[in-house]
Amino acid sequence: MFNPAEEMSSIAFDKILGGALNAVVSAQNNSSMTTVNFIKSVGFQNDENGNTVKPVYVDFKYPKEVAPYRAATPDSIRCVIKNKGKGYNESELNNGGYNLEGLTDVALNFTVNTEGEISAVSVVGGEDKLLEKLKDDKSGQTELKITLSAKSETAADIAIKKVPGTKASAAKFQDMTLQVPLLTIVPVPFIRVASTDIELNVKINSIYNSSESSDTKADSGMTASASARGLFCRGNVSINASVSHQKKKSTAEEVKKEYSLNIKIHAVQDDVPAGMGRILDILEESIVPKFSNDQESA
């Protein structure tokens, strides 16, 4: 007779479910070993004895601009106040209270503070004539003195100087070498099983068959004989009969079990472990650009 409880207890759930979980654990272990082997084989160099000795570095060479392009600059004029003096009137100075050794077409602008001191002087006209006057290749002069005709308590001492221009210079480049640890530029595989869903379906079908058959056979026969003598008659009668009966009965029971196992595994790229992250930080700190010839550019 079909017994569902007995049939369910006969199913090896421990092997079915445990085998699936062991497979997941084994996969996680294989993933960890893959990470270890990747770091050791790709990120580090080994000696002849197989011992890890140092990280693998990748060299990048590139030109670095060590001096920018400088455009040419023309000669210019700069007014230098050697002594500010005292007691000057700004309006009087800007209305021509000065002398430039015969250069009447040159215009200057003076700034006087509240104490009557000259705080700033600038050229506002005729700069080209000043430059012509101050050319080194002709007169040898490098500065002109300003004579102030305005009255003051203390005379100021002011000079006009030429600031030589510069020639254009091309940018300077130096070949640099950047050594980068390989582990810092390649993705390290850190695969983690985030979740595992196991669905087990068991279907049990019981089929019971019963059949019965009956067969009865009956055979009969009769014979008679008679004889007479005088007033009396004599007779013989014989009867033959046979009966057979056959009955067949058969039963059959069939139990079918169907299993369905569905496993869903969700794996993700895990974060770098704290220890490995610290190693990568140390390696990143070692990335320093160096001159290819190990000498600093002049």
What CATH number has the domain bearing residue 112?
A: 2.40.10
Encoded amino acid at 45, one letter: Q
> Is 9 within a domain?
no
Total domain count, the chain: 1
Contacts 24+ apart (CB under 8 A), 31-37: 31/189, 31/191, 31/192, 31/193, 31/267, 34/189, 34/191, 35/188, 35/189, 35/190, 35/191
Instruction: Tell me what percent of the residues of the chain surpass a pLDDT of 90.
Output: 9
85: phi > 0 → left, psi -120 to 50 → alpha, else beta; which?
left
> Is 111 within a domain?
yes
In this structure, of 42-56, 61-75, 195-209, the range with the lowest mean pLDDT score is: 195-209
**What's the whole-number mean pLDDT along residues 227-231?**
54
How do strand 44-46 and strand 52-55 relate by DSSP bridges? antiparallel
**What's the whole-number mean pLDDT along residues 232-258?**
66
- What band does 38 get if pLDDT is binned at 50, 70 and 90? confident
Predicted pLDDT at 211: 63
Task: Tell whether the model's pLDDT for residue 25 goes beyond 80.
Answer: yes
Predicted pLDDT at 71: 93
Tokens of 248: 């067949």
> Is 80 within a domain?
yes
Task: Tell whether the model's pLDDT for residue 181 goes beyond 90.
Answer: no
> Is 256 within a domain?
no
**What's the whole-number mean pLDDT along residues 70-80?**
90
> Is 63 within a domain?
no
> Is 253 within a domain?
no
Total number of residues shown for the chain: 298
Predicted pLDDT at 42: 84
What is the layout of strands, in order, in the sheet containing 143-148?
Answer: 76-83, 157-163, 143-148, 98-99
> Is 104 within a domain?
yes
CB atoms within 10 A of CB 85: 20
Q: Over the stretch 269-291, which tens digit does the pLDDT of each residue have?
A: 777 777 878 877 888 887 878 77
Domain containing 91: what range? Answer: 76-163
Q: Are 72 and 61 in contact (CB under 8 A)?
A: no
The candidate with the shortest Cα–Cα distance to 174, out of 70, 60, 66, 289, is 66
Instruction: Tell me what percent of the residues of the chain surpass a pLDDT of 70.
Output: 75
Say how far apart CA 182 and CA 186 lie, in whole Å.
6
> Is 260 within a domain?
no
Predicted pLDDT at 219: 59
Predicted pLDDT at 133: 80
Say how far apart CA 209 and CA 218 lie, in whole Å.
31
